Amino acid sequence: MKLTSSVIDTIRTVTVDDTRIDAAVAIQFKDAMRAETEEGPNRVILDLSIVEFIDSSGLGAIVASMKQLGRDRKLDLAGLTPAVDKVFRLTRMDSVFNLYPTLDAALDAD
């Protein structure tokens, strides 16, 4: 599970560089997110534009990543592909996050 992270102004962007967030990598994903976001800006954007598949373990790991940021920080999601978007909508987790079609749209929304 590879994540790339950068800080632009007051926003941290974390890009998932793998095509799948599934049961095989859910725990690694959560740990890697913790490492990338432990310090730094209050707003974190998770760029999912490369991710083609997510299962319920991956979804749970993204929710856990948001919770480990704490109430005072924020995790927004960008670039959901159709199969990923579908999992968020079916489980109504789309109501828990701000979703943006692209990373640029998420950055502009600040």
Q: Which is nearer to other proteins, 5 or 81 (CB)?
A: 81
Range 69-72, long-range pairs (CB < 8 A, 24+ positions): 69/37, 69/44, 72/42
Cβ–Cβ under 8 Å, residues 45 and 76: yes
The reply on whether position 50 binds other proteins by CB under 8 A is no
The reply on whether position 8 binds other proteins by CB under 8 A is no
Cβ–Cβ under 8 Å, residues 60 and 26: yes
User: Cβ 28 to other proteins, closest distance in Å?
Assistant: 11
Cβ–Cβ under 8 Å, residues 43 and 74: yes
What is the residue type of 108?
D
The reply on whether position 83 binds other proteins by CB under 8 A is yes
The reply on whether position 98 binds other proteins by CB under 8 A is no
Among 32, 66, 78, 103, binds other proteins (CB under 8 A): 66
The binding site for other proteins (CB under 8 A) comprises 20, 22-24, 53, 55-57, 59-61, 63-64, 66-67, 71, 82-83, 86-87, 90-93, 95-96
